[in-house]
């Protein structure tokens, strides 16, 4: 898959649509938000700002949000963020023990492709769960369908 250049407005809109759908599907114990600074580690200090996070609802007033508050991270990957979205960020999320990771990329044709992963804590890697084109339909970390074809 080749990520294309993505206008900032399209990326923000996609992040908002995804966060709204995750927030609605997650139930009362979890919140989803966009562009929240997350502290993954204290030493060395590792801070990231994923496109979308799903975090424990009781942590809404916690600053900073930490890895143990997180259930899922969603990264929207474009040509400019390819290295971070596919390698650097993923490695840091695994190290932090975040259970679910989604990577969403714009294909060369402009279609959104979503890959969802679940953490294998023994192997210390993410295992692919699903690959969806245009419409995300997953059952973990909770059932949700997100139509990204309307972007």
Q: pLDDT by residue (tens digit) across 47-97?
A: 999 999 999 999 999 999 999 999 999 999 876 555 465 666 789 999 999
The stretch 105-110 carries a mean pLDDT of: 83
Mean pLDDT of 11-16: 92
Q: Tens digit of pLDDT for each residue in 117-149?
A: 999 999 999 999 999 998 999 999 999 999 988
Strand ranges, E, within the chain:
30-34, 38-42, 45-48, 52-56, 65-66, 70-77, 100-106, 112-120, 125-133, 135-138, 144-147
In words, the CATH class of domain 8-147 is: alpha beta
Q: Where are the domains of the chain?
A: 8-147
């Amino acid at each position: 898959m080749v990520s294309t250049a993505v206008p900032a407005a399209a990326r923000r809109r996609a992040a908002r649509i995804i966060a709204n759908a995750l927030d609605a599907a997650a139930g009362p114990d979890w919140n989803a938000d966009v562009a929240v600074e997350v502290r993954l580690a204290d030493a060395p200090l590792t801070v990231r700002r994923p496109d979308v996070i799903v975090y424990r609802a009781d942590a809404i007033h916690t600053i900073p949000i930490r890895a143990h508050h997180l259930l899922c991270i969603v990264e929207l990957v474009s040509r400019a963020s390819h290295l971070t979205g596919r390698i650097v960020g993923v490695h840091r999320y695994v190290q932090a023990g975040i259970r679910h990771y989604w990577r969403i990329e714009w294909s060369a044709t402009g279609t959104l492709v979503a890959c969802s992963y679940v953490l294998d804590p023994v192997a210390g890697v993410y295992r692919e769960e699903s690959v969806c084109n245009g419409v995300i339909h997953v059952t973990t970390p909770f059932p949700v369908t997100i139509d990204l074809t309307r972007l």
